[in-house]
Structure 1
C-alpha cells in the first residue's frame, strides 16, 4: 500500500563517500564533493574535501567539514495515530520458521542511516529488503507468508523512530501507531531482533529505558565497551573507541516498568551511547545514540558485532578481514623523487640483495610482533627481464655473482607470494596477442628457472594497462574509458596462458563494482577473466626513504604543493598516521583487496626498516589497538578463487532462500534459479560437516554448492 506524501525528510547527514583518486605511480588525489547539508554550505574549496577515520582525514585530505555531523539532530517524536486496526492477523497459522533475510526500514533515499545499513549488510553478504516507510504502509502481509513463515530474521531501523519532519518542521514518525504495532507484533511472534542505527532516547514509539543527559551532546567523544557489552562486541579491546564527526546523545538509565536495559558502550563520564533493551513483551532491541556512517572508524569497528547480534550469529553470507599487500616491479629499477629539488631521477635506484634479505626478516618480525597477522606475506609482482636464472642460490652473494639480487631472490623465494607482472613491464593497452602471450609466458619461464613459487592463475598488468584506463595522448593524464575500451587481445593471451584473475585499480570507477563491494568484476571483453581490485595509497612509487615519501606527498598536498590541502607540511610520522588509518578502514570493510605499493618502497633505508613495512606496522598497530579479529593473507591464486566464489554468491544470493527453524536449529537452503545448475552459498553460524567450513571470530562459516533440491544444515545461534 502506498502512503501519501506526508512529510519531508530530515536533511541528509554524514553522507561521506570514500572516493579515492589515484594513479598507479602517483599519490592519490583528494576528491571534491558537494556539501552534505543545505544549512551550512562549504565556504571554501579546501573544506569540500571529505575525510574519515579517527582524525578525520582522507589521504591528502584536510579535516572534514564538521557541519554535516553537527546537523545530525533528532528529537522528541510524535507518532501519528492509526485507525486502531488489530494485529490479530499475525496469530493465525504461525510457524517457528523465519527466512534468513533482514528488513531495513528507512525514510527514503535521503535517509542518513540508509548507507550505513546497506554497507554493513553488504559487507557480510546478508540478503536484505528495503522498505521506504514514507511511501509504503507496513502491513502483516509484508512480514510473513501465507503459510505462516516469517520473512525476516532481523529488522534494522535507520533511526529508532524513523524520524521525518512535517511541514511545520516538527519531528514525526514515518510509521503510524498501527504500523508500529504491526512491526512489534511480528518481532514478538517470530523472536526477531531489532537494531536502531541511531536514536534519540525517548519514550515513543517505544521506551528503551534511556534518557538524554542535557548539555552533553557533541560531535566527538570516546567510548569503551562495558563488561556486559563484550557479549555483543567480543572482538573489541579495552582501548577507548574514538567517535569523531558523528553527533551523539549521551544517556543514562531510567526505570521503566517491564524494560530491562543493558549498557554496551559508555563515555568517559559514564554516560551510555549504546545499549540492548528487552521490551515488556520480550522483544530484544539494540539502540545506538551516536550517528553512524560506513566511512567512519567507529561504525566499521562496531559493525561486525552489530550484525552478529542482529542475526543471532546465523545468516547467509560471511565476513572476514584481510591484510593483502602487493609490491610491484621486483627486479626493475625505480625512479627516485628528490625532495630538495622536486625533481624525479629516472631509474636511479634498484632494489638490492641486502634489501631483499632484510625484507624477509622484517616480514618475519611483523608476524612475531602481531599475532593477528601471523600468516602475513607480501606478494611480489615481478618483471624478470633483468633476472639472471644462472645465479647461485645464496643469501650472501660475493662480488663474483653477476646479479646479486637474482641470487638472493632464489634464497628468499619461499618467503613471498610471486605474481606475474610481465617480463619487460611494457604497457599493454594496444599490445598484440602474440606479444602479450610472450610477455606472460616468458616471465613464467623465468620464475620456474629461479624456483619462485608463483601464483599461476593471477596476473598484474604493468600500471593496470590493457583495462581501458590510459592516456589519450602522450603526456596527458590517464582517463577511464571503461572496460570495453580495454585490450581484448591481451586478455585472450592471458587466458591462454592460464590466467583467470587480473588485478585492477580500485581508484578507477569502471574497475570495481560499487553496488557489490565484495565482488570482482568479470571482464566484458572476456568472461573467463575476473578483475580483482587493488587499493592505492599515497606512498609514492618513486620514494625509498621517509624524507622522500613525506616530500613527495607535501609537494602535492602541502601549503606550497600543486594541490594545496594542509596548512603545514606533514612530517613522515603524520603522513604515516594518515595512511595507516585509511588502511585500517579498508581492512574493516571486509574486502580482500590488496593494497599495492612499489619495489623502491622496500628499500632498507635504516636497519630493519622500509616504507612498506613501516606502513604495515602502522596499520597493524592501529588495528590491533581496537580489535582482536585475525587478519587473513591469501596467495594470489587463492585470493582470486576466494573473490570468484564470493562474487558468484553475491550474484546468486537473491535466488537463494534459507529458512531457519527456530525450534530445531536447522536451516533449509534452496536455490530458485535454473534447475540444472547449483549456486555458491555461504552460511554463517553452522554446526555442519557439509561443504567447506572455516572458523572465524568463533563462528563457523560454511561454503557449499546448493541446487533446487536444497540442503539441510544445523546451526548454532549466539
Structure 2
C-alpha cells in the first residue's frame, strides 16, 4: 500500500485522524521518497524549543530554521522538496511551527509550507497557538477561557486514548511549583461549527460545565495540524507527558530515535554501616570533616527484617533494586559478633532477588591520599608539591578482593561493573581536579568496563582507561540518616540561612534550588515537604527519556526506611499516569551504560551528517556508517529482514539495529504506509499571522522544584 497525494474527505464527526483515509490521485502508484527528518521553525519561544529538545534526546534528526536569525534559509518549494534519482522527495516528514502561522500576512513562505504539506501529506504541529477559527477553534471569548492552568488536571479524551496518547492512563496534571510564579497559560475553546477537529486533550473551562481543547487535530484544505493551545517548556510535567504523543502524531509513528521511561535505584554500602548525622555537631562523626574526637560514630546498618521488607516491596512493585556491596562490612561485623551476621546471611540467602554491583571491599577513598588534619580535607603532597596518589595495586586490591568475596558468597555479579566508594578515584572538586592517574590502569587490571560517577559533579559519559562512566543521580535522602527526623534536621542545616541556624549555602550560592524559607518541622517535614520534592525531581528524570540511575544508601532502607516513601511516590505516581503499554524500564548498570554509549555514537553521527533515512511506500531505508547501531521507532509488526524489529513499548516497537555495510532496511506494515507521487496545482491562501500569546515567567525559565502541586 502506498500513500498518495490526497484530498481529505474526513468529516467533522470523524473520531480519529488515523481513520481519515486519503483519496488517491491519478498518480497514486508512483513512488515518493519521504526523508525521516523534521523541520523545526523556531521563533525562540519555549514551546518550539521543548519539541526540539524532545527530538534531540530521542535521537530524531531535525533541521531548525530560526526566524529571528539574519541570513536564515528561505522556506520555499526548493527548500522543502526536490527529486532524487528521478523520484520526488519530500525533505521533511513533519513541520513544527511556533503557531499556526508565524509569518507576515500573505507570506510566500507560509504558502510554500501549506502547498508542501498538502502535496506530500506532511503533518504540521502548532507548538503553541491562540484559539481562533484559523486553527479550527472558536475565540475563547465565546464560552471559552484564557488564563493560568497552574495546578489544573487536564485529561486525555477518548480520541486521544485511542490515538496518539494511548500510552497515558488519562490524567495530565499541570505543575504548580510556586504560588508566586505563573507557570502555565492556556486557551480553552471548542471547535468552530463544521470544523473537522478532533480533541485529544482537554480541561474544564472555569465557571462552566464544559471542557475546552488543549491539544487537537484540525484537518482542512488537505492539511493536518496538531493544534496546541497551552504554553510549556521542556522540563514541565505536562509537556513531558504529552511529548511522545506529539512526536508520534507528526511522524505517523515512523521515525529515527526512540524514547522510553527509565528508573533504576542503586543502594550503596550494603553489608557495611553508614555513620549517623549528629544534630549537635551539625556533622557526621566518623566522617573526615567531623573532627570532634570526643564523639564516637553511631552506625546505621540494615537488619535481616529490612531485607525481608525490601524483597516484599520489590515483589509488590515489580521492581528490582541494585545493591552495591562492600564485603568487608560483613567480615568486620562477624569479627565483632562471634562470627554472626544475620544481615549477610539473609541477603545471601535472597541474593537472586536483587542485582549486585562491586562497591570495593572496604569502601576506601581511591583518589589522592587525604590530609584530614584540616577541614575541608586536602590532598597530601610531596616536598616537591606533587600530589600523593593511592597506588594502582591498592586500587586493584579493593576491586579484586570484593569481587572474590562476592563470588564466594554466590552473588550474581557482572564483573565489569564498579561503583567506587564516594565515586573516589574520579576527580573531586575543589581538592582533586583530576582523576587519580592510577585508577585507569587498575580498572584495566580488573576488566572494568562500566564505572559509576556522580551526576552532580561528573555528568557526562567519558572514558576512564577501559571503562566508560555511568553518571548516577544522587537522591537528597542522606546517607547518614536512618530516621526521618535526622533527615529533616540535616536538611534544615544545609538549606537554611545562617540567621536560622543553617549552613548558609543558599546565601553563598544563590543557584541552589532546594533552599528553604524557614526550617521544616522535625516531625512532619519529611513526609510533607522532602518526600514530595524528591518524588517530583526523580519522576522528572524518569519521564524525560533519561536512563541514568539514582542512588541511595543502605541506611535509607533501615530503621525508619525513609527511602520507600520517595520510591513509592515515583512508582505509584507513574502507574497513575501511564498505561500498562509503557512500563518503567528497570535496567542494570551496564545496560544503562550501553544505552548511553549507543546514544552518544548515534548523536555524533547524526550531527556529522553521516546518517540519512527515508521512506518509500512500505520500506524505510537507513544509511549510516558501518557498524553504527541505528535507533528507530516503528509500528508494531515492522520487519528487519526476516526478523521482527525492536521490542514493544507504548504501542509501537523501538530498539537498536545494525544494517549490513551500514545500510538498514525495515519493512513497515502496509496499513501504516505513506506516500506516492505529487500532483501539481494551486492551493488556498494560508490564514493570517497568529496573534501574540502570553508566556508566563515560569515557562521562560524553569521554576525550582517544590512539593506544592
Give the direction of change, closer, same or farther, for the CA distance of 1:175–1:246 in structure 2 (3 Å limit): farther
Q: CA deviation at 1:512?
A: 2.7
Partner secondary structure for residue 564 of structure 2: helix
Match for residue 360 of structure 2 among 415, 422, 439: 422
Match for residue 65 of structure 2 among 131, 134, 137: 131
Q: CA deviation at 1:454?
A: 1.4
Matched residues in 2 for 1:124 and 1:639: separation? 15
Q: CA deviation at 1:471?
A: 4.1
In our comparison, the structure showing a higher alpha carbon Rg is 2
Q: More deviation in 447-456 or 651-660?
A: 651-660
User: Residue in 1 aligned with 2:113?
Assistant: 183
Q: Does 1:617 align with 2:545?
A: no
Q: Does 1:261 align with 2:212?
A: no
Matched residues in 2 for 1:650 and 1:496: separation? 31
Q: CA deviation at 1:644?
A: 2.5
Which string of whole-angstrom CA distances, capped at 9 and with x for unpartnered residues, describes residues 534-556 of structure 1? 11121111111111122221222
Which string of whole-angstrom CA distances, capped at 9 and with x for unpartnered residues, describes residues 667-687 of structure 1? 01111x4xxx32110121151
Segments of structure 2 that go 5 or more residues without pairing to the other structure are: 1-26, 177-181, 287-296, 368-388, 507-514, 674-709
Match for residue 538 of structure 2 among 583, 595, 618: 583
Give the direction of change, closer, same or farther, for the CA distance of 1:359–1:490 in structure 2 (3 Å limit): farther
Matched residues in 2 for 1:391 and 1:334: separation? 17
Match for residue 447 of structure 2 among 492, 498, 501: 498
Give the direction of change, closer, same or farther, for the CA distance of 1:134–1:636 in structure 2 (3 Å limit): closer
Which string of whole-angstrom CA distances, capped at 9 and with x for unpartnered residues, describes residues 32-86 of structure 1? xxxxxxxxxxxxxxxxxxxxxxxxxxxxxxxxxxxxxxxxxxxxxxxxxxxxxxx
Question: In 2, are the aligned partners of 1:159 and 1:199 still within 8 Å (CA)?
Answer: yes
Q: Does 1:377 align with 2:320?
A: yes
User: Residue in 1 aligned with 2:405?
Assistant: 446
User: Residue in 1 aligned with 2:164?
Assistant: 232
Partner secondary structure for residue 407 of structure 2: helix
User: Residue in 2 aligned with 1:301?
Assistant: 241
Partner secondary structure for residue 322 of structure 1: coil
Which string of whole-angstrom CA distances, capped at 9 and with x for unpartnered residues, describes residues 378-412 of structure 1? 111112223349989xxxxxx86433333223112
Q: CA deviation at 1:252?
A: 2.0
Matched residues in 1 for 2:211 and 2:559: separation? 48
Which string of whole-angstrom CA distances, capped at 9 and with x for unpartnered residues, describes residues 327-383 of structure 1? 11112221212446644343412423325423433433xx42x4xxx2x11111112
User: Residue in 2 aligned with 1:289?
Assistant: 229
Partner secondary structure for residue 89 of structure 2: coil
Partner secondary structure for residue 199 of structure 1: coil
Q: TM-score scaled to structure 2, two decimals?
A: 0.75
Matched residues in 2 for 1:533 and 1:352: separation? 26
Matched residues in 1 for 2:612 and 2:94: separation? 15
User: Residue in 2 aligned with 1:597?
Assistant: 552
Q: TM-score scaled to structure 1, two decimals?
A: 0.74
> 1:133-282 to 2 correspondence within 5 Å?
133-135=67-69, 136=72, 137-147=74-84, 148-162=88-102, 173=103, 177-203=107-133, 206-213=134-141, 216-220=146-150, 221-230=152-161, 231-239=163-171, 241-244=173-176, 245-255=182-192, 259-269=195-205, 270-282=210-222
> 1:420-569 to 2 correspondence within 5 Å?
420-429=358-367, 430-472=389-431, 481=433, 485-508=434-457, 511-513=458-460, 521-523=461-463, 526=465, 528-558=466-496, 560=500, 561-563=502-504, 565-569=515-519
Question: In 1, are the aligned partners of 2:200 and 2:217 still within 8 Å (CA)?
Answer: no
Give the direction of change, closer, same or farther, for the CA distance of 1:715–1:210 in structure 2 (3 Å limit): farther
User: Residue in 2 aligned with 1:122?
Assistant: 56
Matched residues in 2 for 1:637 and 1:243: separation? 34
Matched residues in 2 for 1:281 and 1:95: separation? 23
Q: Does 1:573 align with 2:527?
A: yes
User: Residue in 2 aligned with 1:351?
Assistant: 301
Matched residues in 2 for 1:352 and 1:252: separation? 56
Give the direction of change, closer, same or farther, for the CA distance of 1:356–1:446 in structure 2 (3 Å limit): farther
Give the direction of change, closer, same or farther, for the CA distance of 1:222–1:495 in structure 2 (3 Å limit): same
Runs of 4+ in 1 over 4 A off after TM superposition: 389-392
Partner secondary structure for residue 457 of structure 1: strand
Give the direction of change, closer, same or farther, for the CA distance of 1:188–1:94 in structure 2 (3 Å limit): farther
Matched residues in 2 for 1:611 and 1:601: separation? 5
Matched residues in 1 for 2:346 and 2:112: separation? 69
> 1:9-158 to 2 correspondence within 5 Å?
95-107=31-43, 110-135=44-69, 136=72, 137-147=74-84, 148-158=88-98
Which string of whole-angstrom CA distances, capped at 9 and with x for unpartnered residues, describes residues 80-121 of structure 1? xxxxxxxxxxx9x995211111111002xx433343122211
Partner secondary structure for residue 182 of structure 1: helix
Matched residues in 2 for 1:506 and 1:160: separation? 39
Matched residues in 2 for 1:331 and 1:279: separation? 62
Q: CA deviation at 1:313?
A: 1.1
Give the direction of change, closer, same or farther, for the CA distance of 1:190–1:692 in structure 2 (3 Å limit): closer
Give the direction of change, closer, same or farther, for the CA distance of 1:246–1:471 in structure 2 (3 Å limit): closer
Question: In 2, are the aligned partners of 1:391 and 1:406 still within 8 Å (CA)?
Answer: no
Q: CA deviation at 1:581?
A: 0.8
Which string of whole-angstrom CA distances, capped at 9 and with x for unpartnered residues, describes residues 639-669 of structure 1? 33333333332332342211112xx321011
Partner secondary structure for residue 81 of structure 2: coil
Which string of whole-angstrom CA distances, capped at 9 and with x for unpartnered residues, describes residues 113-166 of structure 1? 34312221123221111111233221222222332211111111234433xxxx
Give the direction of change, closer, same or farther, for the CA distance of 1:649–1:409 in structure 2 (3 Å limit): same
Which string of whole-angstrom CA distances, capped at 9 and with x for unpartnered residues, describes residues 291-338 of structure 1? 111111111111111111111111111111111001111122212124
Give the direction of change, closer, same or farther, for the CA distance of 1:504–1:439 in structure 2 (3 Å limit): same
Q: More deviation in 214-223 or 125-134?
A: 214-223
Which string of whole-angstrom CA distances, capped at 9 and with x for unpartnered residues, describes residues 148-185 of structure 1? 211111111234433xxxxxxxxxx3696100011111
Q: CA deviation at 1:212?
A: 2.2
Q: More deviation in 410-419 or 353-362?
A: 353-362
Matched residues in 2 for 1:647 and 1:440: separation? 28
